[in-house]
Amino acid sequence: MKRIYYAIIPMALVIMLNSCATVYKCGEAKPAKQPITWGKRLKTVVSERDKLCKDLALKQNENAGLRNDLVNQKNNNKDLTDQYNNLTNLYKTLQDKHNSLINENLSQTDKLSKALSEKSEELDAKEKLLSDRLKKLDEMKHVIARQDSITNRLNTILRNALLGFNSDELSVEIKNGKVYVSMSDKLLFQSGSSAVETKGKEALKVLADVLDKNTDIDILVEGHTDNVPIRTSVYKDNWDLSVARATSIVRILTADYKITPTRLTASGKGEFFPKADNETSEGRARNRRTEIILSPKLDELMKLLNV
């Protein structure tokens, strides 16, 4: 308001002066000499008018500068407004991306949490399964150790009980966790016969006494021959003979020495599982044998395996 006030006063004075006397106007060249008609009062007024014209020129210049500043401020304001709008749009874009990432992160977190929970449950199940298997394995080791102990004890008992027989007639050894009592052909049978000889029955009686005191032992009787063919009115071949010999021993153990039949199995192998080379007489003699294979009952172990 002050700027407008200062601008209006000089204009009013100019109008008033122009109406009173003929003088030069603001902006016109000043006369070299003042006219004679000018009185003292007029001269004073003209001098004041000159000062006001000068002030007017300054104010006009100042107004021009202010107008330029206003234009610049408007331009700056427009630039700042554009920058603000751009930043606002960028902020909105970034905010949308941020929200999208937050949602995606939450979704991924939920998925990972669910997967972790499932894996944890799966791991717990596997740990329980492993614990159960380790427990079962320990139980099996205990059973096997006990069976090995039984086998070793049985081997010792049989060796001591059968000391009265020669090594070429009878042998006792442990193989694959079982006790093998191998009786030669000359101890048990005549050539080509399945009838057990007296000395063979004595050996079977000693064996039966031990087996009768150890009821947790299964008994497999296997008959073996050499590879010399045999064909008689009774036996078609060595296989037939080996089965008959194994069956004869089973009958003696059950009928004469009261071994429970369910503990016994008879099997004939013929010439197909030799212990020695059939090319020599000594080898063939070793192959003509009956093996009584003794093994601890596996019922407890089979129960563990089937659980």
Query: What are the CA-CA distances from residue 107 to residues 93, 112, 116, 202, 238 (Å)?
Result: 21, 9, 14, 85, 79
Q: Does a structural domain hold residue 132? A: no
Q: Give dist(CA 19, CA 9) in Å, integer.
A: 16
Q: Does residue 284 sit within a domain?
A: yes
Residues 6+ apart with CB under 8 A from 46: 17, 23, 34, 38
Spatial distance between the Cα atoms of 225 and 241, rounded to a whole number of angstroms: 8
Domain-ending residue, one of 65, 87, 109: 87
Task: Determine if the pTM surpasses 0.75.
Answer: no
- Same-domain status, 178 and 62: no
Q: Of 173, 182, 183, nearest to 151 (Cα)?
A: 173
- Kindly state whether residues 302 and 215 are assigned to the same domain: yes
Domain holding 170: CATH number?
A: 3.30.1330.60
Give the number of domains in the chain: 2
Q: How far apart are CA 300 and CA 136, in angstroms?
A: 12
Cβ-based neighbours of 300, under 8 Å, separated by 6 or more: 143
Domain boundary among 71, 87, 103: 87
- Residue 43 within any structural domain of the chain: yes
Q: Of 66, 87, 108, which marks where a domain is finished? A: 87
pLDDT of residue 21: 46
Residues 60, 168, single domain; the answer is: no
Alpha carbons within 13 angstroms on the beta-carbon side of residue 228 total 11
Tell me the HSE value of 12 on the side-chain side, using a 13 A CA sphere: 6
Contacts of 263 (CB under 8 A, 6+ apart): 211, 215, 217, 218, 219
Flag whether 188 is in a domain.
yes
Exposed/middle/buried for residue 139 (C-beta within 10 Å: 0-12, 13-18, 19+): middle
Does a structural domain hold residue 94?
A: no
Walking along the chain (307 residues) 10 residues at a time, the average pLDDT comes out as: 53 49 61 63 77 84 88 88 89 88 85 87 88 81 81 91 90 92 95 94 95 92 95 92 97 96 96 95 95 82 53
- Let me know if residue 153 belongs to a domain: no
Q: Which two tokens stand for residue 127?
A: 């740990």
Six-digit token string for 247: 């069956």
What distance in Å separates the CA atoms of residue 70 and residue 79, rounded to the nearest whole number?
14
Domain enclosing residue 236, as ranges:
162-306
Q: Is residue 30 a part of any domain in this protein?
A: yes
- Report if residue 14 sits inside a domain: yes
Phi and psi for 138 in degrees, rounded to 5? -60, -40
Nearest to 54 by CA among 46, 42, 44, 66: 46
Q: What would the two tokens of residue 251 be?
A: 């009958």
3-state secondary structure at position 152: helix
Sheet hosting strand 178-184, strand order edge to edge: 170-175, 178-184, 289-296, 217-224, 264-270
Residues 178, 165, 205: CA angle, nearest 5 degrees: 70
Q: Same structural domain for residues 73 and 166? A: no
